[in-house]
Chains A and B, each alone.
Chain A
Amino acid sequence: MQVQLKVNGKAASLDVPPNTLLVTAIREHLRLTGTHVGCDTAQCGACTVLINGKAVKSCNTLALQHPGAEITTIEGIAAADGTMHPMQAAFKDCHGLQCGYCTPGMVMSAIDLCTRHPGASETEIREQLEGNMCRCTGYQNIVKAVQQGGAAMASSQGQASTATASA
């Protein structure tokens, strides 16, 4: 069956069997392999992407359920010149990743978290990130990264709105 999506800003027309999970569409049909599969029970969050700006576990929803949706994957958040998104940069700076497998899902969740709750406390971040498992880091540096990345997002948005205002 045909489904039209907008993935990382580009229109994508997919012909997929009706039972195709969104993560399968992203990985197998669009060959965007940054989104990972870590479990089969929607517990680990490695497959998290943004659907219309909200973090969703893409292993737990069908591609056909999202006609016309704007999907953002880990491949779609860096600038065109390769400069990392502030949250990506914060994960690197805070050593918020080790093997890197859970990382794309973690970063996408973190971006959504910081968009919804700018300035979230450590306790709030720990609660909100419960849907994403990391087996390597012990989470401490992930929490730091989310705090730092969230602050950078807020500040770059502030700069953007200032720039818009002055323009």
Chain B
Amino acid sequence: MGASDLSRLPHIGESLRRKEDYRFLTGSGQYTDDIQLANMRYAVFVRSPHAHAAIRSVDVSRAEGMPGVVKVFTGKDVEGKMGGLPCGWLITSTDGTPMKEPPHPILAQGKVRYVGDHVAMVVADTVQNAKDAAEAVEVDYDVLPAVVDVREAQKGPGLHEAAPDNHCYKWAIGDKAQVDAAFARAAHVTTLDLTNNRLVPNAIEPRAAIGSFDRSKDEYTLYVANQNPHVERLLMTAFVLGLPEHKVRVIAPDVGGGFGSKIYLYAEDVALTWAAKQLNCAIKWTCERSEAFLCDAHGRDHVSHAEMALDKDGKFLALRVHTDANLGAYLSTFSTAVPTILYATLLAGQYTTPLIHVEVDAWFTNTAPVDAYRGAGRPEATYLLERLVTRCAWELGIPQDEIRKRNFITQFPYQTPVALQYDTGDYHACMDKAKSLAEVGGFEARKKASEAKGLKRGIGYSSYIEACGIAPSNIAGALGARAGLFECGEIRVHPTGSVTVFTGSHSHGQGHETTFAQVVAGRLGIPVENVDVVHGDTGRVPFGMGTYGSRSISVGGAAIMKALDKIEAKAKKIAAHLMEASDADIEFEGGEFKVKGTDKKIPFGQVALTAYVPHNYPLDKLEPGLNETAFYDPTNFTFPAGTYIAEVEVDPATGTVRLDRFTAVDDFGTIINPMIVEGQVHGGLAQGIGQALMENCVYDRESGQLLTGSFMDYAMPRCDDLPSFRIGNHVTPCTHNPLGTKGCGEAGAIGSPPAVINAVLDALKDLGVKDLDMPASAPRVWQAIQQAAH
């Protein structure tokens, strides 16, 4: 069944209310910290108070004598007994050498490299006793100089023996010579230096994990707030602990948001699993928020120089970019892919720029590891390109929307100069719809009204593209991925015709239990209530690569569609037998199998029952049962795109920015549940606007201490900070997956930051402010106004 047939099915395109909501709304959800196991102990980690220090000694004798303490593990206990955390993506430098991949020990070995680095794990009978004992672990540190800024990293001090200059890799894409030549003959060149500020993902559920061990079976179970339990198990067993996978079960129960930060294999998860066997008990660790600020993977943190070569009409001729990426102290699971494969390949954006060259230097610093955060690379690319494009417009005196339209790609498929091939899209349609929803025609009048109040009003555009549904495994492999990026789906039809779906995707708020059930119920012609979706448990789901990169419906949903194809094919054979017809004459529609050209028909439920009660069944040709599994490996990424328009009012006296209206028009391909999709856009916008206006992760440059270490210091968007959004969509179905879907989870976070900053700069143009880095907080905007005035 293709995407074009899909839209005719019942439930597709309906805003069904979510099946999962009852348990969340009544307090009966089960997040990791809610789980209580028999014989459970509690772990607290002793973390480095220094950004960079040699460990002279760790004395646990006093801590181990304290009430309730079972054991204190240090680096010495794990040394030689397990590997370090692996990096999932190998980048090869431009000179052909592999990236530097220094060890990432589970508990520190001789040195700590960021504030929050793991030094010891205390296990006790209560959390309070574990905390008290953690205070009593005596660590003698020899404090070393620290570096936190990516621009300073190259000057040292070096963090790792394997990378004494802190350089992880130099990577490039595109034809430098041709790009340079295009710049030499350009009518105009626009340059821009910008920083994409570091963020803390801050899912409201802090990470938590419980390691447990069953000695009678020699089996481990890890409950963990995680976005991809099979990947967690694979990395932990194959790369760190050397355990056979069938002896380890990873369960990610209800997960309270992830946004990327729960993709990764963290040291805590490994330590708890390993220690559960050492102590023959279950051990729970629940991260506290201030601890999460220190040790969850952070996002973004790029410093870039970008140049666009244009002809006299504002057509883009060539783009040249150099980016320094901060990877933090160690390589987290996907970290190396973010500033390269997930970033540079998106720098064509929606435009026909024929020549692009991007060079990326990646550095180690004494900060928490940086990895993929909502959008991962795509927000960084979009921010750079869309800020640059607006600056080009201003320099050439062309309106912001007009310069975009002059350069939009209109012919598909379109091969970009940076590896990707876009299958489909309609960028003009999204722009036109966004302009209409945003009522840009009334902007000048609104600007005058603002001026009458002494306020500056600005409008900002951003036309983003992202590559979702990662990925074709062979392409990912060629680009350095150490894993495949397919998905698995199993459809288990029960004897009375109800269905359980097992998916390798994982829901941590996206509503898969409803969306996936809509697809299955629609295909089989059965009520949505008769379909349940199971995810997040390696003991129940055959396999899976998890949820990130907006891949769930486009890859996970496609795997389910493939399994449904198999179910339908087998069911038709059973129906043919029951109605004494040829297989080829059976049609399946509306939950009924019909013999073409006759009035003979039987319902899906009867076929299901026959499969399990095979009294009248072609046992010589078919096995009983109706249960199929499929793996789906996509042939390409999907390419959601859209245009966002922000309108802000700035008070020049205080620098306060108020987001007055925000319009987002997206092309996500086929939409299964519009309510859920719109909700995903809202959430993404809140995070993107948060980055643009308030969120910022700051380390002290001298000491390497995290200055924004709690919700008291790190400004999160609250209800009063955001307007109601104007949302629209324009659909061009994806051409290469059976659902025609493209993915919607990250768009808002990708498209919104440049729209907001472009709007702020538009508002401040008359005051002479030409540049501003995120977040556009009141003090920063006020300072920019003052500097421009003097």
Interface residues of A (CB under 8 A from B): 17, 27, 31-41, 43-44, 46, 73-75, 78, 82, 84, 88, 91-93, 95, 97-104, 107, 122, 125-127, 129-130, 132-143
A134–B204 alpha-carbon span in the complex (Å): 7
Shortest distance from the beta carbon of A8 to any chain B beta carbon, whole Å: 10
The answer to whether A73 and B27 touch across the interface, beta carbons within 8 angstroms, is yes
The answer to whether B26 and A74 touch across the interface, beta carbons within 8 angstroms, is yes
Residue B627 CB within 8 A of the other chain? no
- Contact flag A98-B257 (CB < 8 Å), given A138-B686, A140-B722, A141-B679: yes
The answer to whether B26 and A133 touch across the interface, beta carbons within 8 angstroms, is no
A-B CB proximity, top 3 nearest: A34-B27, A100-B24, A101-B256
Beyond the given pairs A46-B204, A99-B203, A129-B719, 7 more chain A to chain B contacts, judged by CB atoms under 8 angstroms and listed by A's residue number, are A41-B710, A73-B27, A95-B679, A98-B679, A99-B257, A135-B257, A139-B719
A138–B509 alpha-carbon span in the complex (Å): 13
The answer to whether B682 and A140 touch across the interface, beta carbons within 8 angstroms, is yes
A130–B686 alpha-carbon span in the complex (Å): 14
Shortest distance from the beta carbon of A85 to any chain B beta carbon, whole Å: 9
Shortest distance from the beta carbon of A114 to any chain B beta carbon, whole Å: 15
The answer to whether B682 and A141 touch across the interface, beta carbons within 8 angstroms, is yes
- Contact flag A138-B720 (CB < 8 Å), given A38-B204, A98-B679, A100-B256: no
Listed stretches B14-22, B308-316, B362-370; interface member = B14-22
Contact of A95 among B29, B676, B711, B748 (CB under 8 A): B676
| In the complex, chain A residues whose CB is within 8 Å of the CB of B202 | 135
CB-based nearest A residue for B30: A33
| In the complex, chain A residues whose CB is within 8 Å of the CB of B204 | 36, 38, 44, 46, 99, 101-102, 133-136
CB-based nearest B residue for A128: B719
The answer to whether A39 and B679 touch across the interface, beta carbons within 8 angstroms, is no
The answer to whether B27 and A35 touch across the interface, beta carbons within 8 angstroms, is yes
Interface residues of B (CB under 8 A from A): 15, 17-18, 20-31, 33-34, 36, 128, 202-206, 254-257, 259, 286, 288-290, 508-511, 675-676, 678-687, 710-712, 716, 718-720, 722, 724-725, 748
Contact of A143 among B15, B18, B20, B724 (CB under 8 A): B724
The answer to whether A98 and B27 touch across the interface, beta carbons within 8 angstroms, is no
Contact of B205 among A32, A36, A75, A141 (CB under 8 A): A36
Please, could you name 13 A-B residue pairs with CB atoms under 8 Å apart, sorted by A? A27-B34, A33-B31, A40-B289, A40-B710, A75-B28, A98-B679, A101-B31, A102-B256, A104-B27, A136-B679, A136-B683, A137-B682, A140-B725
Of listed A84, A101, A125, A135, residue having the most chain B CB within 10 A = A135
Of listed A73, A88, A93, residue having the most chain B CB within 10 A = A88
A143–B685 alpha-carbon span in the complex (Å): 16
Main secondary structure of the interface of A (DSSP, over half): loop
A120–B619 alpha-carbon span in the complex (Å): 66
The answer to whether A95 and B25 touch across the interface, beta carbons within 8 angstroms, is no
| In the complex, chain B residues whose CB is within 8 Å of the CB of A82 | 26
A140–B36 alpha-carbon span in the complex (Å): 35
Of listed B31, B204, B289, residue having the most chain A CB within 10 A = B204
Contact of B722 among A40, A75, A107, A139 (CB under 8 A): A139
| In the complex, chain B residues whose CB is within 8 Å of the CB of A92 | 17-18, 21-22, 25
Shortest distance from the beta carbon of B418 to any chain A beta carbon, whole Å: 31
- Contact flag A97-B25 (CB < 8 Å), given A38-B205, A126-B719: yes
CB-based nearest A residue for B31: A101
A98–B685 alpha-carbon span in the complex (Å): 14
- Contact flag A137-B36 (CB < 8 Å), given A75-B27, A100-B509: no
The answer to whether B27 and A43 touch across the interface, beta carbons within 8 angstroms, is no
The answer to whether B17 and A93 touch across the interface, beta carbons within 8 angstroms, is yes
Contact of B685 among A33, A46, A99, A138 (CB under 8 A): A138
| In the complex, chain B residues whose CB is within 8 Å of the CB of A35 | 27
Shortest distance from the beta carbon of A111 to any chain B beta carbon, whole Å: 12
The answer to whether A100 and B719 touch across the interface, beta carbons within 8 angstroms, is no
Contact of B720 among A39, A46, A126 (CB under 8 A): A126
Shortest distance from the beta carbon of A129 to any chain B beta carbon, whole Å: 4
| In the complex, chain B residues whose CB is within 8 Å of the CB of A140 | 682, 722, 724-725
The answer to whether B711 and A43 touch across the interface, beta carbons within 8 angstroms, is yes
Of listed A17, A43, A101, A126, residue having the most chain B CB within 10 A = A101
A101–B712 alpha-carbon span in the complex (Å): 20
CB-based nearest A residue for B681: A138
A133–B17 alpha-carbon span in the complex (Å): 23
| In the complex, chain B residues whose CB is within 8 Å of the CB of A73 | 27
Contact of A43 among B22, B511, B675, B710 (CB under 8 A): B710
A142–B686 alpha-carbon span in the complex (Å): 13
| In the complex, chain B residues whose CB is within 8 Å of the CB of A137 | 679, 682-683, 686
CB-based nearest B residue for A142: B719
The answer to whether A138 and B682 touch across the interface, beta carbons within 8 angstroms, is yes
A40–B288 alpha-carbon span in the complex (Å): 7
The answer to whether A91 and B205 touch across the interface, beta carbons within 8 angstroms, is no
A140–B720 alpha-carbon span in the complex (Å): 10
Contact of B509 among A40, A99, A133 (CB under 8 A): A99
Of listed B15, B679, B716, residue having the most chain A CB within 10 A = B679
A93–B3 alpha-carbon span in the complex (Å): 28
Of listed A43, A102, A136, residue having the most chain B CB within 10 A = A136
A102–B683 alpha-carbon span in the complex (Å): 14
| In the complex, chain B residues whose CB is within 8 Å of the CB of A142 | 719
The answer to whether B676 and A135 touch across the interface, beta carbons within 8 angstroms, is no
The answer to whether B29 and A100 touch across the interface, beta carbons within 8 angstroms, is yes
